[in-house]
A and B are shown apart, each in its own frame.
Chain A
């Protein structure tokens, strides 16, 4: 298993994997069906333009196991993370490998903080993030509106990339 920076040419495979996760329901905010070509085009543009940094985790044969996106937000130095693991690859360490590589990459990008949102019911994901040093900062109530009109809460979790005792940069 290895983690590498994704390139625009990876976009179709990244989109296929994401579509499969979306189809499972319950893990991500995006609702099925995912428009794969449009999503792939958007991701390819994000990678090429530097808007986002995408990491791909693949097995020894080059099969994509999962991916992690680092998306800067309006607050300078802060980025949001999105992670997706193929169903067949869960429990094999791809998530942990991506989260560790994501933190290292974010530090190299000069970011001081990573954030993510996760459904409170997704206990496996919450545990994975907590094991990597992520902390729950709060719960956003009725934050996301689903297609059926239902509003979902999310936990907001964060990873500080700069030690509290670090000198100002």
Chain B
């Protein structure tokens, strides 16, 4: 059975919350679903889901990070990892963002998250900053994050003075 990508719809929110709560976004599934639902209603979020035989196996959520900029979170079900679903979602979401007139996508991941870094590299995203002692862990410590960026417009449109 092949995987199909389609736009995220309100009926997907709880399943996306469950996927994301596993490791991608903080908070319980219901809280994530509520937050994303509010953003979806306000037009501040969109996304894609990957479905196989009616079961949601992955999602890419793009939340507004600033004018023309989206913050991406990709989550894939544990048993569906290493199957290419994450890469397919990342590539599709980048293409969709271009079509929506976005100029940049950003994301964060842990410095040691080789899967996320590899996924980012596969779509042309690069590390732009090391956010030191940024995220509070469940144990109370602070961990670094890597800030990733993917510029979606050609170089001639970049630059300019304030």
Contact = CB atoms under 8 A, between A and B. Distances in A.
Interface of A: 25-27, 75-78, 112-113, 115, 119, 121, 135, 137-146, 148-152, 156, 158, 160, 162, 164, 168-169
Report the 3 A-B pairs with minimum CB-CB distance, sorted nearest first.
A138-B129, A150-B160, A168-B140
A148 B128 CA distance: 24
Nearest to A148: B160
Contacts of B139: 168
A113 B133 contact: yes
A143 B139 CA distance: 33
Contacts of B136: 76-77, 112
Given A156-B147, A168-B140, A78 B157 contact: no
A162 B129 contact: no
B103 interface: yes
Interface of B is mostly: strand
A23 to B, nearest CB: 12
A162 B134 contact: no
Contacts of A146: 160, 162
Contacts, number: 94
Interface in B147-162: 147, 149, 151, 153, 157-162
B11 interface: no
A151 B140 contact: no
A125 B28 CA distance: 40
A143 B103 CA distance: 8
B130 A137 contact: yes
B111 to A, nearest CB: 13
Given A149-B160, A169-B140, 15 more contacts: A75-B135, A76-B26, A77-B136, A113-B133, A113-B134, A138-B130, A140-B149, A141-B149, A143-B66, A145-B67, A150-B160, A151-B104, A151-B153, A151-B157, A162-B142
A168 B142 CA distance: 8
Nearest to B132: A137
B141 interface: yes
